[in-house]
Amino acid sequence: MRRVVITGLGPLTPIGVGAEAYHKAQLAGRSGVRPITRFDASTLPVRIAAEVDVNPEAFLDKKELRRLDRFVQYALIAAELALKDAGLEPGALDPERVGTLVGTGIGGMETWEAQSKVFLERGPNRISPFFIPMMIANMASAHIAMRYGFMGPSSTAVTACATGSDAIGNALRMIQLGEADIVLAGGTEAAITPMAIGAFAVMRALSTRNEEPQKASRPFTLSRDGFVMGEGAGVLVLEEYEHAKKRGARIYAELVGFGRSADAHHITEPHPEGKGAALAMRRALWDARVDPEAVGYINAHGTSTPVGDRAEVLAIKEVFGEHAKRLMVSSTKSMTGHLLGAAGGIEAIATAQALYHGVIPPTINLEDPDPELDLDFVPEPREAKVTYALSNSFAFGGQNAVLLFKRV
């Protein structure tokens, strides 16, 4: 198998845009959760979210903005950031050896809501001819490929909250098996809309801490009451090691393992003992032939839901045994909220940055730790030279994806 390394980072997140800004925000323990500004949320039970502060016009022209749903806009911006960070000039690359694999959990929700209103109020003849190509999930990868002329494998992962990690894992396999030398991979999401917020609120999945938005995302605490919706994109440049070495690329980390599994349990709740999550972590370790004791850090799924956080802790204890007490475990969702299909992308970036810079990002808002969840959740940034780190992503439907990174 060919070795695969991370040479470019493109985070578009509620706490920072670009690799440097995102990294600094993590170390500052910044929360991106605020009252919703994109629409009037006053009639909704949940009125907070983690919105992205970015001007799309700085990256895309007016024609693109009219014809692209926000989730595709975010993917294109993140891809541009990743390519620049990697020092790659698209025109100088062999287009047949560059792939794109950027997934989304929901796709064009904003477009769907707007065009549904048009259909109901004005009839089918007034629906935009761009409705379908704006909404469908594969358009993030497709538009990245079209913008740069990349003709390698182009695909889309759609596995809810595991999407970003699944996309990166699938890209790992593409390069390992020789289908491509470079793949832009990750996730994108733009689901802060009235219907999406309302729907997740009805499920009682979201935090209702409307009066204290910056404290609403509080994984592993006794008072956690649900996740906070986030938006954005995380795209990474995955590159074959010799290809990266030949051009003198900066290498953030090596991607050495990928594991996935199914809980086969429930449509929304994880297995109560974390069986599927544990299996995915074991498979990532097995894929890299790495012993559990070699892992020093886990970027947890850690959504801040009562059931999910508990199941993940049980899974970590099952996989790592006594070593679990020595592991550093943090949830960057405490700062960014939960970006659904983009979560795995921005969390893979955070994990690669932790290895590269030697600093573990914190779990903020850890004011009342749940005594049953007794791992080291890193309440403050911590300097630590870690060799191996996991990034966990667990989804509705029990679809799990885990990535294993190695410090280079």
Nearest partner of 258 among 325, 170, 198, judged by Cα? 170
Residue 301 annotated among the catalytic residues of the structure? yes
H/E stretch holding 112: helix 109-122
Q: Is 289 exposed, middle or buried (0-12, 13-18, 19+ CB in 10 A)?
A: exposed
Residues ≥6 apart with Cβ < 8 Å to 80: 10, 59
Return the closest-CA partner of residue 392 out of 264, 274, 222. 274
SS3 (DSSP) at 336? helix
Alpha carbons 257 and 292: distance in angstroms, whole number: 12
Residues near 108 by Cβ (< 8 Å), separated by ≥ 6? Answer: 69, 70, 71, 72, 134, 135, 136, 139, 190
Q: Which of 322, 321, 329, 310 is nearest to 372 (CA)?
A: 310
Instruction: Return the axis-axis angle of helices 139-148 and 70-86, rounded to nearest 10°.
Output: 50
The Cβ-side half-sphere exposure at 60, using a 13 Å CA radius, reads 23
Q: How far is CA 134 from the centre of its chain?
A: 21
Which residues, 6 or more positions from 53, have their beta carbon under 8 angstroms from its beta carbon?
Answer: 14, 17
Beta bridge partners of 208: none
Q: Is 271 a catalytic residue?
A: no
Per the listing, tokens 């500004």 go with 37
Distance between CA atoms of residues 87 and 221, nearest Å: 41
Tokens (6 digits) for 297: 């850090």
Helices (H), 239-366: 241-246, 275-288, 306-320, 333-336, 343-357
- Which one from 161, 266, 271, 357 is the annotated catalytic residue? 161
Q: Provide the token pair at 295.
A: 């892992």
Alpha-carbon dihedral 269, 275, 281, 287, rounded to 10 degrees: -120
Catalytic residue among 23, 143, 243, 301: 301
Catalytic residues, by residue number, are 161, 301, 338
